[in-house]
Amino acid sequence: MTEAAPIAPAPARTNPPHRIGLTRPLIIGLAVLVAVGTLLATLVTGFDQPQVALAFGVLVGLGELARITLPGHREVAPIASAAAIAYAFLITIGTESVSHTAWQVIAVVAVGLLLGELPHIMVGQSPHWGDLARRLLSLSVLALVFRPIVGFVGPEGELWWVSLGLMAGLVVMVWALDSVAAAAIRADRLHTRFRVTLRDEMRAQLPIGMAIGASGILMALSAYVMGLAALLVFTAPLLVTQVAFRRFAEIRLTYLQTVRALSRVTEVGGYVETGHSRRVSELSQAVGCELGMRESDLLELEYAALMHDIGQLSLRDPIPSGATVLAAPREQRRIAELGSAVIRETGVLDSVAELVRRQCEPSAGDGDDGPPPLGSRIIKVTNAFDDLVGESKDADRTAAVLQRLRMDTDHEYDGSVVDALSAVLNRPASRW
């Protein structure tokens, strides 16, 4: 990094300590209490129809073993969840009525989830305990509401549609509650706003949630005609759905890995410091979360931040250490325009290209287009910060650079973005 004019140390701005996220530990603790309590209660009273319990428990375990991770680090187990819902909704198997309690449903599902998780643990994969706890608690609510009234509903007779409607309503209710819990955990983890994560969670989980719920209901109702064979019949289409979601997640991951590899070209070529693009990307996402950006906007911000310096590849004489903040405004604009043109060639990243193109504009804009997008303003601030600080951990230097950025908030930098950056840097868990 090129040494700029000496920056006089400035007193660090003190921000109130960020609240510690307690949602995830509380949900995990509650799930453990529910699992242990129901298992002990079931062991004392005995399992009703153990063969049926074993069949559903095995399917839950296999489904947990085949769980998938969706974009946004969301861990789901469609087959396990559908089997758990079916067991909670089970009314008859053929002509034989079932009478297992809600406690038995929860105990069987808890054991199945744990057994399905063990192989992942044995190969060194760290479980997402929060997601696992949410799955168990969602099933618990479903079972506790439905099992006490199972004697008043059934899959036959003129009022069969009442049973179907009740099951569908309970699935929607539990899906909404699960989305709220997932959003609370995500808001704590990302230090962002709950209403933003709630909207993101509902949008992300709606397709897979409806597929799981419908499959679980069909399994339970079809057992009246097909017996336990319904488990295999309705697991097959759900498995196809799971493969499709897994393929989608893999494509998204490959896409991101390609962008990350492309962003490193400027580092390999010596145009910017090693790690600069990664640091700007991570810091930009943290600032975006602090400002309450949606998940889709955060993804575009990540792409744009990774490739914000790609325009430097077109320079005949590289900027020393790639510190564009030290370049003339006209040169900064030229680099941004060249980078945007390269990104537009992909044909699918036009919004990302626009973020890159406008990253050098003042916070209020400098033309008829108005202020640049929030993502562009974030990249402008985080890029300037990393250009001046780099990998340094010196607290005085960090405080001095923040003070320097604040001095330019009247024109160059967005004051709210600089404040968000300061909040991110002052967190106890911040790597800076």
Report residue 416's pLDDT band, with 50, 70 and 90 as the boundaries.
Answer: very high
| 250-258 average pLDDT score | 82
Cα 227 to Cα 234: distance, rounded to the nearest angstrom: 12
pLDDT computed for residue 312 by the predictor = 83
Report residue 159's pLDDT band, with 50, 70 and 90 as the boundaries.
Answer: low
Expressed as residue numbers, the domain containing 387 is 264-425
Cα 339 to Cα 304: distance, rounded to the nearest angstrom: 10
pLDDT computed for residue 34 by the predictor = 95
Residues 152 and 279 in one domain: no
pLDDT computed for residue 60 by the predictor = 93
Examine residue 29 and state whether it is found in any structural domain, yes or no: yes
pLDDT computed for residue 429 by the predictor = 53
Residues 210 and 276 in one domain: no
Residues 204 and 283 in one domain: no
Examine residue 5 and state whether it is found in any structural domain, yes or no: no
For residues 419 and 378, the answer to whether their CB atoms sit within 8 Å is: no
Cα 189 to Cα 286: distance, rounded to the nearest angstrom: 11
Examine residue 182 and state whether it is found in any structural domain, yes or no: yes
pLDDT computed for residue 2 by the predictor = 38
Q: Which of 221, 251, 281 is at the close of a domain?
A: 251
Whether 19 has a pLDDT exceeding 50, the answer reads no
Residues 67 and 124 in one domain: yes
If we measure between CA atoms, which residue out of 72, 90, 416 comes closest to residue 256? 72
Tokens 């002509």 -> residue: 95
Whether 318 has a pLDDT exceeding 80, the answer reads no
Q: Which of 200, 227, 251 is at the close of a domain?
A: 251
Whether 419 has a pLDDT exceeding 90, the answer reads yes
Examine residue 258 and state whether it is found in any structural domain, yes or no: no
CA distances from 99 to 23, 59, 102, 274 (A): 35, 20, 10, 64
Whether 185 has a pLDDT exceeding 80, the answer reads yes
pLDDT computed for residue 154 by the predictor = 59
Examine residue 147 and state whether it is found in any structural domain, yes or no: yes
Cα 299 to Cα 375: distance, rounded to the nearest angstrom: 10
Cα 201 to Cα 181: distance, rounded to the nearest angstrom: 10
Examine residue 7 and state whether it is found in any structural domain, yes or no: no
Q: Which of 229, 251, 273 is at the close of a domain?
A: 251
Each residue's pLDDT tens digit, 342-378: 888 877 788 999 999 999 888 888 777 788 999 999 9
Cα 7 to Cα 400: distance, rounded to the nearest angstrom: 6
Residues 180 and 203 in one domain: yes
Structure-block tokens of residue 275: 């790690």
pLDDT computed for residue 15 by the predictor = 40
Each residue's pLDDT tens digit, 85-107: 999 999 888 778 888 899 999 99
Cα 203 to Cα 81: distance, rounded to the nearest angstrom: 19
pLDDT computed for residue 3 by the predictor = 40
Whether 123 has a pLDDT exceeding 50, the answer reads yes
pLDDT computed for residue 108 by the predictor = 95
Torsion of CA 152, 158, 162, 164, to 10 degrees: 100
74 bridge partner residues: 70
Of the chain, the percentage scoring pLDDT greater than 90 comes to 38
pLDDT computed for residue 115 by the predictor = 93
pLDDT computed for residue 173 by the predictor = 93
Lowest mean pLDDT: which of 48-57, 132-141, 246-255, 311-320? 311-320
For residues 87 and 108, the answer to whether their CB atoms sit within 8 Å is: yes
pLDDT computed for residue 310 by the predictor = 86
How many structural domains are present in the chain?
2
pLDDT computed for residue 241 by the predictor = 77
| 312-325 average pLDDT score | 74
Examine residue 421 and state whether it is found in any structural domain, yes or no: yes
Residues 303 and 237 in one domain: no
For residues 402 and 14, the answer to whether their CB atoms sit within 8 Å is: no
Burial of 366 (0-12, 13-18, 19+ CB in 10 A): middle
Residues 228 and 310 in one domain: no
| 249-276 average pLDDT score | 81
Residues 133 and 61 in one domain: yes
Whether 8 has a pLDDT exceeding 50, the answer reads no
**Number of neighbouring beta carbons within 10 Å of residue 158:** 6
pLDDT computed for residue 144 by the predictor = 94
CATH number where 390 lies: 1.10.3210.10
Cα 45 to Cα 61: distance, rounded to the nearest angstrom: 23
Whether 11 has a pLDDT exceeding 60, the answer reads no
For the chain, give the secondary structure using H, E and C. CCCCCCCCCCCCCCCCCCCCCCHHHHHHHHHHHHHHHHHHHHHHHCCCCHHHHHHHHHHHHHHHHCCEEECCCEEECHHHHHHHHHHHHCCEECCEECCCCHHHHHHHHHHHHHHHHHHHHHCCCCCCHHHHHHHHHHHHHHHHHHHHHHHHCCCCCCCHHHHHHHHHHHHHHHHHHHHHHHHHHHHHHHCCCHHHHHHHHHHHHHHHHHHHHHHHHHHHHHHHHHCCHHHHHHHHHHHHHHHHHHHHHHHHHHHHHHHHHHHCHHHHCCCCCCCHHHHHHHHHHHHHHHCCCCHHHHHHHHHHHHCCCHHHHHCCCCCHHHCHHHCCHHHHHHHHHHHHHHHHCCCCCHHHHHHHHCCCCCCCCCCCCCCCCHHHHHHHHHHHHHHHHCCCCCHHHHHHHHHHHHHCCCCCCCHHHHHHHHHHHCCCCCCC
Residues 296 and 198 in one domain: no
Residues 322 and 373 in one domain: yes
Lowest mean pLDDT: which of 88-92, 256-260, 294-298, 384-388? 256-260
Structure-block tokens of residue 267: 């580092």
| 192-205 average pLDDT score | 90
Burial of 123 (0-12, 13-18, 19+ CB in 10 A): exposed
Whether 189 has a pLDDT exceeding 50, the answer reads yes
CA distances from 6 to 202, 263, 327, 388, 400 (A): 49, 30, 17, 11, 10
What is the chain's mean pLDDT, rounded?
Answer: 84
CA distances from 428 to 17, 64, 349, 418 (A): 8, 35, 35, 18
Q: Which position has the higher pLDDT, 234 or 425?
A: 425
Residues 227 and 345 in one domain: no
Whether 20 has a pLDDT exceeding 70, the answer reads no
Of the chain, the percentage scoring pLDDT greater than 70 comes to 91
Residues 159 and 216 in one domain: yes
pLDDT computed for residue 322 by the predictor = 67
Examine residue 163 and state whether it is found in any structural domain, yes or no: yes
pLDDT computed for residue 105 by the predictor = 95
